[in-house]
């Protein structure tokens, strides 16, 4: 009976929560940093998922309307509604620049120069939209690469503290240092728990953003060809 009671106490002492709360100050600080990084990562994951999903959905709607409609004024009104689409934002920038050019005296206009002006407006809008899409994403990569090492730092520090507390003149049993080693190893586990979702989310968002950038580049070429054929004769 006594052995069973001692076994239950030992198991309770080695529980995850007991290991976390019983950790040294340095290990707790490391786990606190990792917890903050993890919370911020999950915020970024939720926020960027909504942003990129809206951008993809609205870009698909705008592209469909752009190719189906022959009225540029209708396309312009539709683009204003789809403000979360990077492609519609590019269209609005190009449309605005084209309207300025059409307001100038036709005799003083140069087709190639006007086309370059519209292209610069499209590129400027594309760069701005790309920056917005990629905003906060690098933190996921930073967490994915740094969190395991931060956790390992906490583990190494905790194990060093264990060895400092060992008296070389006394026999050491595993049961005496097992809780302290377990506390130190928890830091590595927390680091991995922070890093794994961050890496997976970073790869997912990077692929989605790459697709959107490719769609913007394709739209730029198509839009310039349409302007060259129909508006800058």
Lowest-confidence segment of 9-13, 95-99, 141-145, 219-223 by average pLDDT: 9-13
If one compares 198 and 5, the residue with the highest pLDDT of the two is 198
Output the CA torsion sign for 51, 214, 100, 228: negative
pTM recorded for the entire structure:
0.80
* pLDDT at 172 (0 to 100): 54
Residue 126 has pLDDT above 50, yes or no: yes
Packed helices 174-230 and 137-165: angle between N→C axes, nearest 10 degrees: 170
* pLDDT at 231 (0 to 100): 64
Q: Which of 143, 151, 153, 161 is nearest to 189 (CA)?
A: 151
* pLDDT at 70 (0 to 100): 79
* pLDDT at 211 (0 to 100): 96
pLDDT averaged over the chain? 82
d(CA 149, CA 185): 12
- The two three-digit tokens of residue 126, written as one number: 């594309």
Q: How many helices (H) and strands (E) does the chain have?
A: 8, 0
* pLDDT at 2 (0 to 100): 38
Question: Interior CA angle at 219 toward 216 and 220, to 5°?
Answer: 85
Condensed to tens digits (0 to 9), the pLDDT of residues 161-192 reads: 766 666 565 655 555 566 667 677 788 888 99
* pLDDT at 20 (0 to 100): 54
Condensed to tens digits (0 to 9), the pLDDT of residues 144-164 reads: 999 999 988 888 877 777 666
Task: Report yes or no: 217 and 90 within 8 Å, Cβ to Cβ.
Answer: no
Residue 24 has pLDDT above 70, yes or no: no
Residue range 9-35: mean pLDDT, rounded? 64
Residue range 194-223: mean pLDDT, rounded? 95
Condensed to tens digits (0 to 9), the pLDDT of residues 62-121 reads: 999 989 887 888 888 989 999 899 999 999 999 888 888 776 655 566 677 878 888 899
| Alpha-carbon distances, residue 30 vs 20, 37, 77 (angstroms) | 11, 11, 53
Residue range 194-202: mean pLDDT, rounded? 96
* pLDDT at 116 (0 to 100): 87
Q: SS in 3 state form for 146-215?
A: HHHHHHHHHHHHHHHHHHHHCCCCCCCCHHHHHHHHHHHHHHHHHHHHHHHHHHHHHHHHHHHHHHHHHH
* pLDDT at 230 (0 to 100): 72
- Residues with Cβ within 8 Å of residue 49, at least 6 apart in sequence: 205
Residue 46 has pLDDT above 90, yes or no: yes
Q: Which of 146, 149, 150, 187 is nearest to 20 (CA)?
A: 187
Residue 35 has pLDDT above 60, yes or no: yes
The DSSP 8-state label assigned to residue 15 in this structure reads S
């Amino acid at each position: 009976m006594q052995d069973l009671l001692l076994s239950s106490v030992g198991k309770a002492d080695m529980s995850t929560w007991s290991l976390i709360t019983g950790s040294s100050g340095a290990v707790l600080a490391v786990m606190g940093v990792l917890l903050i990084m993890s919370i911020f990562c999950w915020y970024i994951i939720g926020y960027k998922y909504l942003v990129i999903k809206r951008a993809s959905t609205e870009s698909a709607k705008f592209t469909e309307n752009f190719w189906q409609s022959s009225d540029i004024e209708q396309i312009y009104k539709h683009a204003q509604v789809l403000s979360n689409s990077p492609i519609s934002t590019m269209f609005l920038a190009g449309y605005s620049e084209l309207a300025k050019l059409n307001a100038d005296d036709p005799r003083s206009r140069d087709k190639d120069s006007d086309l370059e002006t519209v292209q610069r407006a499209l590129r400027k809008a594309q760069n701005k939209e790309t920056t917005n899409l990629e905003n906060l994403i690098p933190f996921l990569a930073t967490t994915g690469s740094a969190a395991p090492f931060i956790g390992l730092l906490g583990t190494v520090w905790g194990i060093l503290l264990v060895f400092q507390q060992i008296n070389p003149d006394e026999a050491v049993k595993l049961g005496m240092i097992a809780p302290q080693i377990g506390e130190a190893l928890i830091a590595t586990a927390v680091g991995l728990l922070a890093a794994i979702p961050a890496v997976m989310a970073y790869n997912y968002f990077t692929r989605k953003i790459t697709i959107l950038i490719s769609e913007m580049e394709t739209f730029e070429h198509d839009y310039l060809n349409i302007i060259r054929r129909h508006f800058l004769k």
